[in-house]
Amino acid sequence: MTRDEQERLAAEHVLGLLEGEERGQAERLLASDATFQAMVEEWRSRFSEWDSTAAVLPPGDALWQRIEAGLAAEPARTMLRPLAPAALSSPSRPFRGLWDSLAFWRAFGLAGALAALLLALGLGFFALKASRQPMLVAVLMNDANQPGAVLRTFADGRVELTPLGDMQIPHNHSIQVWTFPAPAAAPVSVGIVHAARTVFLDLRNLPRPHADQLFAISVEPLSGSPTGLPTGPVIMKGTATTAL
Amino acid sequence: MKAVLGEAASPASDLNRALSLCAGGDRSALRVVYDSEAPRMLGVAMRLLRRRALAEEAVHDTFLQIWRKADSFDPMKGDARSWLYAILRNRALNILRGENRTDLVEDFEPMGLASEEEDAETVMLRLSDTGRLKGCLERLEPSRRQAITLAYIHGLSHGELAGRLGVPLGTIKSWIRRALISLRECMA
């Protein structure tokens, strides 16, 4: 990797922009490479001026009390560094040196922790993958017959809505997502959205969505439709299709 | 005389000393760090997480990590404050990327979302004139400045920036890269 590449990796690590492979790469370099550590440190200090622009919010006593309670659960620090001289003076059995070696147990402990971490990451990855596989996908088309949003439903009843392009929500309004569990029946609200960004909604209280189910989005007051039915204009709609 | 002045002078050396006392097991030193940094940390965490309860959780976890890791802090390698905020940002971004993703809509309705967000220009005006960041950000094109500022203060991902600023993902990535190159040259 070139120096410029490393600089970018260091800066994007500090910004929190890295994902996937690059994120792992940055974490490995940060643990092992002094040049990279120095780059990261420099970027942290460059960006730290932004931290000073944040509001100062008095945290209140309850937070400190929770932290203190957390400290009480930590092992006492002074107990952590004994050993060494005793190990040298008692060479009774061949593996005694190893048994008493802090370095050995440190390495052993680290290896164990690393194995557990890898296992956890692996499990997490597959769990995430399984829960991330959508059941149904609906592309909601706007009046101009352009895709305006993508809606995906998941096995656990969550629904992810991703607005596309330059969807604008009129000032002082929200958009409300509706679905029609039965074609002839009234629409049911899935959720109210205030910002044009990916959000999760909840379908768990509704019948399990099926292929060809209609989804629609209407413009509503900030607190959502006052009547429980769409009151504003429908700005996009589409039917769900099974995801393969 | 000199020594007395030196002790009272720099908040950075106060933090260094507090961290080394933490490493020795002195809880009152952690409280010193808390009193001096927690209010600002809560503000930084609120910008990233938007919800008070989540922001407090991030600060809580950060102080437990400071306590645990204080002996690994090396004042020769870096600044104490930037070490503290690195722990905070790491924790807050993990909460943001992992847990907030699964939020259900009724949970975040009272948050007000975008309306409470600060935009990049407001934040830039609040930067100190004596620092270098402000002048160097001013030299960036406004769109690039906005992208990199929102990434840092609100923790937006490449994808979220693309959605927010209404440009393709590739454009966002190249804006950020160019902004970084320019900032590095300017702040060197």
Domain harbouring B152, CATH code: 1.10.10.10
Instruction: For residue B145, give the amino acid letter.
Output: R
Of B55, B88, B109, the domain-final residue: B109
CATH of residue B58's domain is: 1.10.1740.10
Regarding whether B133 and B44 lie in a shared domain, the answer is no
Regarding whether B95 and B153 lie in a shared domain, the answer is no
Name the token pair of A174: 């929200």
Regarding whether B13 and B95 lie in a shared domain, the answer is yes
Residues 51-80 of A with CB under 8 A from B: 51-59, 63-64, 66-68, 70-71, 74, 76-78
Q: Which of A41, A50, A177, A203 to mutate to test the interface with B (most CBs of B within 10 A)?
A: A50
Q: A163: how many CB neighbours lie within 10 A of its CB?
A: 22
- Judge contact between A59 and B42, C-beta under 8 A: yes
Regarding whether B100 and B146 lie in a shared domain, the answer is no
Residues 3-42 of A with CB under 8 A from B: 4, 7-8, 11-12, 14-17, 19, 37, 41
Regarding whether B142 and B181 lie in a shared domain, the answer is yes
| Count of structural domains within chain B | 2
The whole model's pTM is what? Answer: 0.58
Regarding whether B72 and B130 lie in a shared domain, the answer is no
* % of residues, chain A, pLDDT over 70: 86
Nearest Cα neighbor of B85 from A185, A68, A16 is: A16
Report the residue of chain B nearest A156, measured CA to CA. Answer: B102
What pLDDT was estimated at residue B40?
96
Of B109, B140, B175, the domain-final residue: B109
| Mean pLDDT within B99-113 | 43
Report the residue of chain A nearest B174, measured CA to CA. Answer: A8
Range of B69's domain? 9-109
Name the token pair of A160: 């992810």
Regarding whether B102 and B16 lie in a shared domain, the answer is yes
Q: Which of A2, A47, A222 to mutate to test the interface with B (most CBs of B within 10 A)?
A: A47
| Mean pLDDT within A1-16 | 94
Regarding whether B124 and B104 lie in a shared domain, the answer is no
What pLDDT was estimated at residue B59?
97
Please judge whether B42 and A59 are an interchain contact, meaning their C-beta atoms are less than 8 angstroms apart. yes
- The helix/strand/coil state of A133 is coil
| Mean pLDDT within B111-117 | 46
Regarding whether B91 and B38 lie in a shared domain, the answer is yes
Regarding whether B81 and B47 lie in a shared domain, the answer is yes
Instruction: For residue B48, give the amino acid letter.
Output: L
Of B90, B109, B128, the domain-final residue: B109
**Is the residue at B4 inside a domain?**
no
Q: What is the pLDDT of chain A when averaged over all its residues?
A: 82
pLDDT in tens, A48-88: 999 999 999 999 889 999 999 998 877 655 444 444 444 44
Residues 18-47 of B with CB under 8 A from A: 23-25, 27, 30-31, 34, 38-40, 42-44, 46-47
